[in-house]
Amino acid sequence: MLSILLPAYNTDVREIIYDLQAQAQLLSVDYEIICLDDHPQSKAFVANRELQTMGNVLLRRNRSNLGRAGNRNRLAQMARYPRLLYIDADSRIVASDYLEQYLEASQDARWIYGGTVYPAECPRGCTLHWSYGKHVEALDISTRQRTADFRSNNFVVDRELMLAYPMDESLVRYGHEDTLWAHHLDQADIAVKHIENPVLHHGLYDDATYLDRVEEACSHLAELTQRGVLPPITRLQRTDQRFDLPIIRQMVDGYLRARESSLRESLLSSAANKLSRAQETRRKQMPTRHERSLLSRLAWYKWAIYARSLRD
């Protein structure tokens, strides 16, 4: 028995729900699909209403914005079945046996992460998000083994476990609510099982919006660190911690502050330059020289935002 849960925010979910139901109907299992739109005035919700006639599909819209954590907690409360499959609504299903793989894996695990992949070609204007996602977030099973590699875009968890360890709804800012949630499960000795069952991350941000999101997430991470809510478990936190000596700290912070604005301008300028045809059409997983340069500058930019936010 499976509850398929789609946290959405003004997102057209018709394609993904059609795909999910087609797979679910081939399995000998009770299921439901619930989409909860966290945008009170969502325009996509109107288009999605055509799904109301489908069996086992429930569409709802929150009267007020609950946030990423609150929306996921609410979905767990609404669900009827003991296993919950969370999929971000802006995803696409890749494998024809996607649901079957999760059901098989859940026979001996309470918490499973399937991973994510990105489009083979970079969508126009989304170079930064695409480059980071494809070469940093889209880890295959050989390298994705830690709790820190978990993302909340595509995972299965026991309903009982989700209700016992809900996401922290006080985290209303963008980013790292799933990092903290995964840390809490790790502290409770509940290990994540990694499998190769990714979804396609379809909804990519344009370069300027992506950097705005990066800034908000890094600032939020600094707040969680400062409050002692989240110990240094992320790569960014650990990098900053290595330089936590008075004289070195002063030098590093001065350097990062001086470069923050120029790093952002450089990222936007470089990302806007059209990649060569060879780069645009390449299918290899290794980043190009252009992408390596972008990822390096992006890492420095994240550190600059985090360090400033942590010590201001």
CATH numbers and ranges of domains, the chain: 2-115+151-201 (3.90.550.10), 207-311 (no CATH)
What pLDDT sits at residue 283? 44
Q: Which residue has the tokens 């370069």?
A: 207
Q: How far apart are CA 119 and CA 165, in angstroms?
A: 33
What tokens does 205 get? 């941000």
Q: Look up residue 144 and give its DSSP letter.
A: -
Q: Which residues contact 115 (CB under 8 A, 6 or more apart)?
A: 138, 139, 140, 141, 144, 154, 194, 195, 196, 197, 198
Total Cβ atoms within 10 A of residue 125: 17
What pLDDT sits at residue 240? 94
What pLDDT sits at residue 281? 42
What pLDDT sits at residue 146? 85
What pLDDT sits at residue 145? 84
What pLDDT sits at residue 278? 38
| Prediction pTM value | 0.91
Which residues make beta-bridge pairs with 158?
A: 83
Q: How far apart are CA 27 and CA 252, in angstroms?
A: 56
Strand 2-8 and strand 31-37: the pairing is parallel
- For residue 227, with 0-12 CB atoms within 10 Å meaning exposed, 13-18 middle and 19 or more buried, which class applies? exposed
Q: What is the pLDDT along the chain (312 residues), one digit of tens a residue?
A: 999 999 999 999 999 999 999 999 999 899 999 999 999 999 999 889 889 888 899 999 999 999 999 999 999 999 999 999 999 999 999 999 999 999 999 999 999 999 999 999 899 999 999 999 999 999 888 888 888 889 999 999 999 999 999 999 988 888 899 999 999 999 999 999 999 999 999 889 999 999 999 999 999 999 999 999 999 999 999 999 999 888 898 899 999 999 999 999 999 998 887 554 334 444 445 678 888 899 999 999 999 999 999 987
Q: Which residues contact 312 (CB under 8 A, 6 or more apart)?
A: none
Q: How far apart are CA 119 and CA 127, in angstroms?
A: 11
CB 78 within 8 A of CB 60: yes
CB 32 within 8 A of CB 79: yes
Distance of CA 287 to the CA centre of its chain: 21
Nearest to 110 by CA among 57, 44, 188: 188
Residue-wise DSSP of 12-52: --HHHHHHHHHHHTTSSS-EEEEEEE--TT-SHHHHHGGGG
